[in-house]
Amino acid sequence: MEYYTLGRSGLRASRLALGTMTFGTESGWGCDRATARALFDRYLDAGGNFIDTADVYSGGTSETWLGEFIAESGTRDRVVLATKFTHNFANTGADPNAAGNGRKHIIRALEASLKRLKTDHVDLYLLHTWDRLTPVEEVLRTLDDLVRQGKVRHAGLSDVPAWYAARAQTMAELRGWETPCALQLEYSLLGRGIEYEFPALCQDRGMGLMVWSPLASGMLSGKYRPGLSAAAQTIDGRLKASAKASAPALQKMTERNWGIVAELERVAGELGRPMAQVAVNWVANRPAVASVILGATSLAQLDDTLPALDFDLPAELEARLDRASALPAAFPYAFIDVMTARMHGGANVGAKPARYFDLPQTRRGGWG
């Protein structure tokens, strides 16, 4: 297992993290306690140290089990423990301050998470989702207070717009507050929308990109039948189980996506590797990616993906996957590309000499 310092921090985290959104059966697509424990043990045995959860996962069960596993295995110091606040899993509508990113909720959420996790601190505390309401100063000051109190070691953001992350990072830096060192976002061969803005932002501002849903909720494992809707699939899995509840905007089984899955299948076949490994390898080696969070509902699935970084994806195969899943050119970047030659009066200013600024931290996954 390889480790990275997470963004511009001193926190050493493994490149493959363990996701625990599947710990618990409340969602209808998770796993039982014995399986969760087996996943936890296997991940640590493989050398991993970075475990991601959230207060909302399985209505608190994920944090509760994880707290028990860590206590029983005596691994609290070794584990880099990440959790998140924002959502109200009771969802009764009775108390608007029992959710969101306001100070009142953040402090209450952390106290509840620490209790479930049976610890006095978390190593990375992330805002889970932008609430569109709370001033960024309030979020940052609260996180900074929690770091100073010793209850949080590092701060991070998840599921926020790029402008918000840039504003938060810059403001924290200028005011001397704890700067977010991680940005957790959805990223896979089927979901490359973050590429327009986020990798450059992460590299410029010193945030490590933590990838969620690297297999697009299992679709990139290749187990679903092409051409069928999620509800019509015959194999069990999250995409089928959540087909009715899933919003149309989050629908993954589209014609475009089946084309990408088909190319992944061909590439994986040529490499002699499972599709899931190739999908994880591809995303782990994208610019600014620090860690890829693996999700599983069985030990066999984790065993399938854990060796994902044990091989190099040949450049020509990587290029084929890039082409099959490429995003359309978009303004302003496509326009700036076209105009770049005119900006320097025809002189070649853009190209940098080889190894220019090639410090260890500036390689893939680090900051630039």
Q: Tokens representing 309?
A: 């970084």
Q: Does 215 bind ligand NAP (CB under 6 A)?
A: yes
Question: CB of residue 362 vs ligand NAP: minimum separation in angstroms?
Answer: 26
Task: State the Cα–Cα distance between residues 168 and 31, nearest whole angstrom.
Answer: 36
> Which residues 6+ apart lie within 8 Å of 220 measured at CB?
188, 189, 190, 214, 261, 264, 275, 276, 279
> Which residues 6+ apart lie within 8 Å of 50 measured at CB?
13, 14, 16, 17, 18, 79, 80, 82, 291
Pairing of strands 289-294, 208-212: parallel
Listed residue (160, 197, 165, 187) closest to 331, CA to CA: 197
Q: Does 237 bind ligand NAP (CB under 6 A)?
A: yes
Q: Tokens representing 18?
A: 């363990």
> Which residues 6+ apart lie within 8 Å of 209 measured at CB?
182, 183, 184, 185, 187, 198, 199, 202, 286, 288, 289, 290, 291, 365
Question: CB of residue 58 vs ligand NAP: minimum separation in angstroms?
Answer: 10
Task: State the Cα–Cα distance between residues 302 and 317, nearest whole angstrom.
Answer: 24
Q: Does 184 bind ligand NAP (CB under 6 A)?
A: yes
Q: Active site residue: 4, 57, 187, 224, which one? A: 57
Q: Does 304 bind ligand NAP (CB under 6 A)?
A: yes
Q: Does 49 bind ligand NAP (CB under 6 A)?
A: no
Q: Which is nearer to ligand NAP, 19 or 208 (CB)?
A: 19
DSSP-based three-state secondary structure for 120 = coil
Size of the site for ligand NAP (CB under 6 A): 28
Using the contact rule CB under 6 A, the part of the chain among 5-13, 17-25, 140-148, 358-366 near ligand NAP is 17-25
Q: Does 223 bind ligand NAP (CB under 6 A)?
A: yes
Q: Does 296 bind ligand NAP (CB under 6 A)?
A: yes
Whether 4 is catalytic is: no
Pick from 301, 306, 321, 366 the residue near ligand NAP by CB under 6 A: 301
From residue 142 to residue 161, the character string flagging contacts with ligand NAP as x (rule: CB under 6 A) and all else as - is ----------------xx--
Pick from 5, 9, 14, 20 the residue near ligand NAP by CB under 6 A: 20
Catalytic residues: 57
Q: What does the binding site for ligand NAP look like in residue numbers (CB under 6 A)?
A: 19-22, 29, 52, 158-159, 184, 212-218, 221, 223, 237-238, 276, 293, 295-297, 301, 304-305
